[in-house]
Structure formats: C-alpha cells, structure tokens
Structure 1
Amino acid sequence: MAVRPLRVVFAGTPDFAVPCLAACRASGAEVVAVYTQPDRPAGRGRKLAASPVKEAALAAGIPVEQPESFKAESDRERLAAYAPDLMVVVAYGLILPRKVLAIPTLGCWNVHASLLPRWRGAAPIQRAILAGDSESGVDLMQMEAGLDTGPVLIERRTPIAADETGGSLHDRLSALGADALAEGLRRTLAGETLAARAQSEDGVMYAHKLDKAEAKLDFGEAAIALERKVRAFDPWPVAEAEVGGERLRIWAARAVEGVAGTEPGRIVAASREGIDVACAEGALRLLAVQRAGGRRIGIADYLNARPELKQAAS
C-alpha cells in the first residue's frame, strides 16, 4: 500500500517566509494550503495588496486562506478539514491558540529569527543589531501556547558583521531558516523523530515591535548606539535626524572619535568622507542621507547642495 505524503499547512506573510514555503514544496511533503494575513492597503494609492506569501502560493496553485483570526470555530474547522500532519509557521503575524496548535497530528513548527531564548517576539533581527550582539541565527521550534517558548528542534548560527543592516541580516536569516526547515522536513519524512531541546530560563529577552519614533536619532546618546540604530533601521523605518537645521533620513553612518567638550548635535567636520556630528560619546559620521522628497544620496552630493555646512564645521 502506498504511503500517504506528509500533509503540510504553511502559515506566513512577509518576504522572510517565502524561502521557507519553497523549502516545504521542495521537500517532498504536500503543501495542502497556505494561510496568510488578509490583504492590506499598501503604497501611495493605499490599494489592497496581497502578501508576498500569498503571491507565491497562488503562483504555485496552492489554496490560500486569510482568516482575521482563529477565534471562530468555523475557521478552526476549515483548518482541520485540510487534515494537516504538520503546520509550519513563519512570520505569520497571528498568535495561534491552543485549539489550533492541537489540530495537526505532529503539531506546529515555527521558524524564528533568533537564538532562543534571546529575542523572543516581533522584531528579533533589528533588536539583535541594536543591542550590539555579535551573533544571531534561526531556530526551528516546536510551538506551544507561550510566545516563542517552545523547545528547539534545529538551530543555525551566524555572526553579525560590523556593517550588518536590518536588511542584510533579514535576507541571510531568511535563507538560513529555509535551510533549517528543509533539514527538519527531510529527517521527519525519513521517519526520524526530532529531538526537542527545552529553552533555558536564563537569558530571556523580548524583541518588541519596532516603533517609527525609535528611528529619531538623539545625538545626546553615544555614537556607537546611533550607528547601530542606523544599521538596524535600514530598510525600515530608516533613521532620522536634525542635521544643520534640516531633517534628514540617515541611510548609512559609522561611529568615529569625537572632539572632547563639543555640544552634541554640532557638526564638527564636513567633507567628501562624511559629515561628523558630535554625540555624547564620540561622533557619528553620516555617509548617505535622504532629503525630504528626494532619494538616497552620498554625502559628497549632499554637500554640493549645502556647501555652507563645510564652513560651519571649519
């Protein structure tokens, strides 16, 4: 008698989750449905837009479900009707209640972009950069009712580079997560039961959701902290600062030595190498900025438009 393939329901929403959906499809498992967030207004026209995961699922001919939540029994019954052996959850955007976690025969797996228990929650990639962590990674986790508290099945680690941005780390962890998931599926399809490692009770940190207000730079902080903000908030929400009387978006910057006793926020140097702004500790060298209504430009181009800043720094 032929063995029925592993039936997988995939739940995810943003770009980060798309490689994991591809890993599920390539594993030999049968992806019987994809769950994703309802279409949301996006762009200048605020027209309803499908999530990246929805677009990938439709292109692959996979049924798509978009419940607002699983509070209604009818939504849980619809999930159960797919008879899933396993539910794979990657940046879905909904907390799954116990009744949902209990539906798949093998439970629910989650691909989380941190080394648990550090950085549980919504924004682990950016929080790791903001904290100056030297290492990050992804955990394939067996889900339980708590927020990212379940035991870890497979872990992948990677160093955080000195010039790492939120965008670059996002892309690397997305690929790493797909790799960890592919291994988990391969071993499960081969009949192996994955060993589950309970998370430590020490070192728990919560990665709270990003707030645009956090992106406003305060030169009363240390330069290294501001450099980390610039890197963490690229590509969203993008750091902002008042520089020479103008509000700018700061796309690239690095901490350098400052001039002792200089008032924070004062421009102490301005050349093609960058604009150095005094901080409480050190100075922040601005390397790429964006003016209101403009595009991202290098500092040399910005100074061509504002030559008075060179004189102010001299």
Structure 2
Amino acid sequence: MKLIFAGTPEFAAAALAALIEAGHEIALVLTQPDRPAGRGMKLKMSPVKTLALEHGLPVAQPLTLKTPEAQALVCDVGAEVMVVAAYGLILPQAVLDIPPRGCLNIHASLLPRWRGAAPIQRALLAGDAQTGITIMQMDAGLDTGDMLLVRPLRIDPEETAASLHDRLAEAGAAAIVEALANLQSLTPVKQPDEGVTYATKLVKEEARVDWLQPASVVARAIRAYNPVPGAHATLGGETLKLWHAVSCEGAGEPGRVLRADAEGMVVACGVGAVRITCLQAPGGRRLAAREFVAGRPGLEGARFDAGGG
C-alpha cells in the first residue's frame, strides 16, 4: 500500500520500521524539524528521520501543515493512507481529507482513556492495571476518532515509563501492520462518551518528589517520570534523580531515610515507605542503589526536602 508516514520519536520509528518490513511503499515521511540537543546544542535529527534516510525514503519537515505549500506536498504524493504516530503537529481538516482511505493514528492508550500528549506516563501515575494501543481513524478532534483496532496491554507492577514505552511501541508497530492488512474488513467503532480522560503534557516541576504522598503514589511517580522529565529530590543540598522505586514497609517523618543498604534506600512517605533502587547524583551516572549507598556512608537518618507543589 502506498503510504505517507508522519511521526517523530522512537515510538514512531518502531512503527515505520515495521511498515517498511511489511513491504509498504512509503512515499513520504513527515517529521518534526531537527532540534538542538545535548550539551553542545547541535541540531539532531529525529529517530524517524534517521530511519527514513537509512532506507532512502523522502523526508519533509514542515513547521506546520496549515499552509497551502505543505498541503500540496501531501496531496501530490498520491498516497492511499497517512499513518500518524506521535508526530507533534496538528493535522488540519484539509490534510485529513487528502488520503482517500483516511489518516490512521497509533495511539498509546485504550481510548477514550488518556487522550492527549502523555498517555504512557499518565496511565502509570494513575495506577492503571492495563493500557494498550488503539488504531484510530483520525478526525479534527483531540484523539476523538473512531477506533479500528484495539490491543490491550497489561502494566507490570514495577513498570517504568521507559519499559512501558518500549512494549507499547512494539505493540503499536504490530497493530498498524495488522490494521493496514485488514483495512477493508475493519469496522469503525465510535468511542464511548464515558471514561474520557486527558493525558496532559508533562512538565519538569511536577516531577519533584512529594514525600508527603502515600508510598504507592510516590513509587508510581518515580517510575512514571523515568526517563522524562526525571523524578528529582534534594538530599543534603544535592538534587538527585530518582529512577526506580517500589513501595515497602516503613514509617517515619516523610522524606527521612530509614535504611540505606545493599537492598536500596528506604525513605518514609506520608503513608508507608519506598525503596529507591536506582538513582543518580548531579554530574554522575545512574547507579544501582547499592553502589550509591556504598560510596556515601551516613545516609541513614538524613532527610530529603519535603518537595511537592
């Protein structure tokens, strides 16, 4: 099938790779403009652009799809379908109307739950037991289109956003290949009016650990913000990145380090405690908690700043 693919990050690159492997003709790849990244702030290509160029696919990086020039670019390709995955630009109705078989979106949630920008992290923060992939026929609303294919995925008890992202990317890639192979026989299903939630964009400020919260909430937040924006908390004047934690037994002043040993750093919360198993000091690398603790005697009894908003 002749396709246009629109996407930007690794999640989208997994789907593009699967479509190439399945033998589809990718007539055009749309992706976000190169952005400054890293300490040197050099321009960096998106994962989708990198993959597309490796396969010799034509790439365009318009700032918007609202101009006549950008819309003509899409129209002139003559693709049957546009596949969209975490593209980052709004598709106006004029673009949605161009492909004769529509625009299909790979969305990382079980719609209508977690419409919007950060469905993976919001599902983890909420303590959802499952999430999944929805292949959706796009319309002009925010993730409101009819559902063509739904693939549920269980959320593991110690899941991070990083691990869940990778599993969903793999599931999304398989689902879009399946959807395109069966496009004529798929029946669009309207999303229910009940159960609508919105996955608002992540901001760095919300990732500051609030030790006054129950341990289950704190542990989920630490895992949900791994890798972006990274949960952080201040201990002894240092702002540490916390990458993984689980709930455990313990009680004390919120933020107080109850134990620091080879099994991790146990910190009291508003209710219960969390065991931090992976963390990072400023300018350092990620360390298993046993390594971190071994190099810092006297942690037990120290107290993190309370944090929160």
Smaller-chain TM-score bracket: over 0.9
Q: Is 1:147 aligned to residue 142 of structure 2?
A: yes
Report if aligned partners of 1:275, 1:285 keep a CA contact under 8 Å in 2.
yes
Partner of 1:107: 102
Task: Select the residue among 41, 64, 72 that pairs with 1:69.
Answer: 64
Matched residues in 2 for 1:104 and 1:209: separation?
Answer: 29
Q: Is 1:23 aligned to residue 29 of structure 2?
A: no
| Deviates further, 275-284 or 87-96 | 275-284
Matched residues in 2 for 1:26 and 1:74: separation?
Answer: 31
Partner of 2:278: 288
Task: Select the residue among 200, 210, 218 that pairs with 1:208.
Answer: 200
Report if aligned partners of 1:241, 1:250 keep a CA contact under 8 Å in 2.
yes
TM-score for both structures, normalised by structure 1: 0.93
Matched residues in 1 for 2:229 and 2:301: separation?
Answer: 32
Matched residues in 1 for 2:67 and 2:98: separation?
Answer: 15
Structure showing greater radius of gyration is 1
Residue deviations 1:212-263, cap 9 Å, x none?
111110111111111001111112221111235532111121111222xx32
Task: Select the residue among 223, 231, 244 that pairs with 2:223.
Answer: 231
Compute the displacement of 1:312 (Å): 5.6
Residue deviations 1:117-176, cap 9 Å, x none?
000001101110110000010010000000000011011111000011101110111010
Unaligned 5+ residue runs, structure 1? Answer: 1-5
Compute the displacement of 1:83 (Å): 1.1
Compute the displacement of 1:77 (Å): 1.0
Question: Matched residue of 1:308: which SS?
Answer: coil
Q: Is 1:14 aligned to residue 9 of structure 2?
A: yes
Report if aligned partners of 1:244, 1:309 keep a CA contact under 8 Å in 2.
no
| Deviates further, 249-258 or 156-165 | 249-258
Question: Matched residue of 1:286: which SS?
Answer: strand
Code of the residue aligned with 2:231 in structure 1: it is: A
Partner of 2:122: 127
Matched residues in 2 for 1:268 and 1:238: separation?
Answer: 23
Matched residues in 2 for 1:311 and 1:22: separation?
Answer: 50
Task: Select the residue among 242, 246, 256 that pairs with 2:238.
Answer: 246
Question: Matched residue of 2:234: which SS?
Answer: strand
Question: Matched residue of 2:156: which SS?
Answer: coil
Report if aligned partners of 1:244, 1:267 keep a CA contact under 8 Å in 2.
no
Compute the displacement of 1:26 (Å): 3.0
Report if aligned partners of 1:85, 1:105 keep a CA contact under 8 Å in 2.
yes
Unaligned 5+ residue runs, structure 2? Answer: 304-309
| Deviates further, 167-176 or 236-245 | 236-245
Residue deviations 1:64-116, cap 9 Å, x none?
01100012111111110111211000110011010000011111000000000
TM-score for both structures, normalised by structure 2: 0.94
Report if aligned partners of 1:289, 1:297 keep a CA contact under 8 Å in 2.
yes
In the alignment of these two chains, the number of paired residues is 303
Matched residues in 2 for 1:312 and 1:80: separation?
Answer: 62
Matched residues in 1 for 2:64 and 2:237: separation?
Answer: 46
Identity %: 50
Task: Select the residue among 74, 79, 85 that pairs with 1:84.
Answer: 79
Partner of 1:263: 253
